[in-house]
Structure 1
Amino acid sequence: MSHDKVALVTGASSGIGQATARKLQSLGYTVYGAARRTDRLRDSAAEGVHALSMDVTDEASMAAGVERIVTEAGRVDVLVNNAGYGSYGALEDVEIDEGRRQFEVNVFGAMRLAQLVLPHMRERGSGTIVNITSMGGKLHTPLGGWYHGTKFALEALSDCLRLEVAPFGVDVVVIEPGGIATEWGGIAADHVEETSGHGPYAAQAEAVAKSLRSEANASRNSPPSVVADAIGKAVTAGRPKTRYVVGFGAKPLIAARGMLSDRQFDALISRATGVPRNKS
């Protein structure tokens, strides 16, 4: 692996992003790890990852970050769009501004960074954009509408982008993680309780929060390194796969969604999350 290749990884302060930054560095990349709080990048910085302050909802922050990389390193070979969170709650309950923020972080931030790095990739005739979606970009769960909406959107945008940039030698790869041992589940559980823990959706919120916390603490969840390893394979492949399905439960659940009818899958997910079914 050439040591002059450069990667930008967002959401690099913990979990998948941190593991990915370290993986790409081990493969010889110069890695810029981006996060809103650079103090949380201290450990990675001590290992040689370049800490980059970036808020993916702030245009100036993203533009300045990419400009710094190009100025210092002269190129961007890999963009890993990992920054994101899960805004859970009944669609009726979630404030519309929070719904917009979920899209700003999970979708618009990722696509704006793609816009900012693509001129440099096209100029070089090579590059890889890696978008971290989720098995949640292929299936649905109760009280996760805004989150799933962002992941479905990112899947579609990635497919269109792949077609558009292929003539310029740029690859677009989607990573669809299943259950990964990170802070994500606990944070999403807090969101759903805060948003829908009282009122008509309280029983559903209680069940979903319990399910999310159970997932967050599940010993069977895969470590973030499985996602980082898949990204490492994708960016070093001569012809990467368009999608990598990795982590606990992802392959069987995505397969089940493809085989079952909508009603059958609704029943499966309701049982799995413990959410009460309709009264009929």
Structure 2
Amino acid sequence: MTTSVLITGTSSGIGRVTALRLARRPELSVYATARRPETLADLAAAGARVLELDVTDEASMARAVAAVEAEHGSVGVLVNNAGYGEYGTIEETGLDGVRRQFETNVFGLARMTQLVLPGMRRASRGRIVNVGSMGGRIVFPVGGYYHASKYAVEALTDALRFEAAPFGVKVSLIEPGLIRTSFGDTAARTLSGSAAPAGPYAALNTAADQQMAQSYRSTILSAPPETVAKAIEHAATAARPRTRYVVTPAAKALVHTRRLLGARVFDALLRAQFKGAA
């Protein structure tokens, strides 16, 4: 029996690598999606089905789910991967950008979940894999609004896991650390555009930009997207998937450091990291 897998945000990064990885499995029928499906030619060549899907557009989301259900009866696995980072300080970041980020990272994820669940309940089976972030458990300066969106994904996933379990639907959360994709470039671009160069947070913004660049270049602190794709594959196919997958050793260390040492010590570590900027 073939299981359908619908993945959001496969035009680049984690989503693209995940689609390629899952398309190799003969028991899976992978639906790769993006706002511009013409960007997915290589995924189609690898055996994935290609659909247009914009997680900020209701009609687009409904069409994509309906297309999968028309062929398979229900979506077997939903991978809510679409997301990006809108960076800047709490005071200076424009709320229009924050709203766009929440539309993608939170409301798009929630609506896709709502659309697939009736079919999964009818089938008495299904998987929902939400791609969150270690940023849903720890917070760095100038990333508050991005972190808030990922904290929201944590809460939604925890509630959904309990609510959907009686219907045979398993729910997992992927929490990547720093992954070498275009995410860091997008974050840096939004950070540079969020405030005036001579504003009150100029030193902090500059330090944060430098820290991000150095961290994403580090092979110790970051990892390739294939690492996340492997975790998503396990969540989508294992008989007993984990509730959470913290991806990369650095992410595991940071999450546990924050949990064990508390806010005051973690703040002290951040002050040392951003010395001269705070």
After superposition, residues 46-85 of structure 1 pair within 5 angstroms as 46-85=45-84
Deviations 1:54-96, CA, capped at 9 Å, x for gaps: 1111111101111111123332110001100000001111111
Give CA-to-partner distance per residue, 1:150-190, whole Å, 9 cap, x none: 00010011000111010000011000001111110111011
Gap change, CA 1:205 and 1:129, over 3 Å in 2? same
User: CA offsets, 1:93-123, max 9 Å, x none?
Assistant: 1111211111110000001000000011111
Other-structure match for 2:153? 154
Name the counterpart of 2:262.
Answer: 261
**What SS is found at the alignment partner of 1:239?**
coil
CA displacement at 1:145 relative to structure 2: 0.9
2:7 matches 1:6: no
Q: What is aligned with 1:207?
A: 207
For the 8 Å contact 1:222–1:248, the answer to whether it is kept is no
With over 3 angstroms needed to count, the CA separation of the structure-2 counterparts of 1:60 and 1:16, relative to structure 1, is same
**Aligned letter for 1:24?**
L
Find runs of 4+ consecutive structure 1 residues off by over 4 angstroms.
Answer: none
How far apart, in 2, do the equivalents of 1:52 and 1:168 lie?
Answer: 27
Q: Which secondary structure does the structure 1 equivalent of 2:178 belong to? A: coil
- What secondary structure is seen at the aligned counterpart in 1 of 2:103? helix
Query: After alignment, is 215-224 or 253-262 more displaced?
Result: 215-224
Listed one character per residue, the Cα deviations across residues 230-257 of structure 1 (whole Å, up to 9, x for unaligned) are: 1111222222110011125110000001
Deviation for aligned residue 1:270:
3.5
* Mapped contact 2:135–2:150 kept (Cα < 8 A): yes
Percent identity among equivalent residues?
Answer: 49
- Map residues 62-141 of structure 1 onto 2, 5 A cutoff: 62-141=61-140
- The AA in structure 2 aligned to 1:43 is D
Shift in Å at residue 27 of structure 1? 2.4
Aligned residues of 2:73 and 2:119 also touching (Cα < 8 A)? no
Structure 2 gaps, min length 5: none
Cα RMSD, aligned residues only: 1.4
CA distance 1:179–1:13, change in 2 (3 Å): same
Q: Distance in 1 between matches of 2:262 and 2:46?
A: 49
Q: Secondary structure at the match of 2:194?
A: helix
Deviates more, 1:215-224 or 1:114-123: 215-224
CA drift of 1:215 comes to 2.7
CA distance in 1 between partners of 2:273 and 2:83 (Å): 24
Q: Report SS of the residue matched to 2:212.
A: helix
Unmatched runs of 5 consecutive residues or more in structure 1: none
Matched, 1:249 2:250: yes
Give per-residue Cα distances to partners, 1:185-222, cap 9 Å, x unaligned.
11101111110252111111111111222233333321
SS of 2:112 mapped into structure 1 = helix
| TM-score, structure 2 normalization | 0.95
Kindly tell me the number of residue pairs found equivalent between the two proteins. Answer: 275
Separation in 1 of the partners of 2:196 and 2:77? 41
Contact 1:181 1:218 (8 Å CA) reproduced: no
TM-score (normalizing by structure 1) = 0.94
